[in-house]
Structure 1
Amino acid sequence: MKKVLGVAAAALFSVLTFAAPASAAEHTKHLHTGDAFGDVTGWSGEGVFTEEGDRVHICDTDADGRGVIIYVYKGTPATGTLRYSMHVGGNGKCVTKSAADGGGYDLPESRVGFKFCRYWKEADGYHDGECKDYDFLNDNS
């Protein structure tokens, strides 16, 4: 009987050990901007949204003279309410915001959306383009 219980406990531990990383992975979302040429392998920026702590991290990953900007919404980018935006420029530079920063950075436990774009300044002001939209259920309690 002890041997059967030992095997059952080992099997349960094995299932729990392998289930935990999969669960954690479901709460991290990878984001990419568009680019000037529509090439899905040539993103101008990359980012990660981690539900735990509402962490949004973006990086400029292209030496193209343009930065990246992300708009963060309660709801989808098309119909939601803008919570905040942040931008960074310079190949390899990154910026991060999270619930620990307070205010609008503490996202609701509901659908959240992101519009992630290339970003540049010209004589008539700032522009964004080559955007990708994302939305996720922020359900990490």
Structure 2
Amino acid sequence: MKRSHKLAGVVSAGMLTALSVLAAPEAAAADHEVHTNDADPGGVAYFTEYGDVVKVCDIESDGWAVGLDVYWNGGSYTLKAGGNGNCDATDANEHNLPENAYINFRIYLYKSGTPYAYQDTAQWYNDH
């Protein structure tokens, strides 16, 4: 499952930096983030403890969608986003995460016939 990316033409380093900043969705004031485990990450997830805000974003036009499993002792849910720049998010109004507990995150890319590719995991303590 090799993924490659090519730029047509010559682009200066400054232009490339400006383009990547404009194209990457960001979470405001996120406490934590984790990326998919591919060479040029196609997905990113953010976790903000206050308000239990969890957001996952597809950050590449590569034909892959991104998924995020959020789980803890006693519960779980999944967020999914497909298409460069698209995100899925939730907060305490939908999924109230337990306080003073470890919350686990598994981010991955997927497409037809290939679930859980390039996955990475993180565990953070929720003290809010």
Same structural fold, with TM-score higher than 0.5 when normalized by the shorter chain:
yes
Which structure's residues are more often helix, by fraction? 1
Partner of residue 55, structure 1? 53
Partner of residue 34, structure 1? 37
Q: Distance in 2 between matches of 1:95 and 1:61?
A: 12
Q: Distance in 2 between matches of 1:131 and 1:30?
A: 14
- Within 5 Å, give how 1:32-111 maps onto structure 2: 32-35=35-38, 39=39, 42-74=40-72, 83-101=76-94, 105-109=95-99, 110-111=101-102
TM-score (norm 2): 0.71
* Runs of 4+, deviation exceeding 4 Å: none
Question: Please, which runs of 5 or more residues in structure 2 have no aligned partner?
Answer: 1-28
Identity %: 32
Deviations along 1:9-63, one digit per CA (max 9) or x if unpaired, are xxxxxxxxxxxxxxxx7x710111122xxx2xx1111121000111101110011
Partner of residue 130, structure 1? 118
Question: Please, which runs of 5 or more residues in structure 1 have no aligned partner?
Answer: 1-24, 76-80
CA gap of 1:94–1:65, structure 2 versus 1, over 3 A, is: same
> Is contact 2:36–2:119 with CA below 8 Å preserved after alignment?
yes
RMSD of aligned alpha carbons: 1.7
Offset of residue 100 of structure 1:
1.2
TM-score (norm 1): 0.65
SS of the equivalent of 2:98 reads coil
Q: Distance in 1 between matches of 2:75 and 2:82?
A: 21
Give the AA of the match of 1:28. D
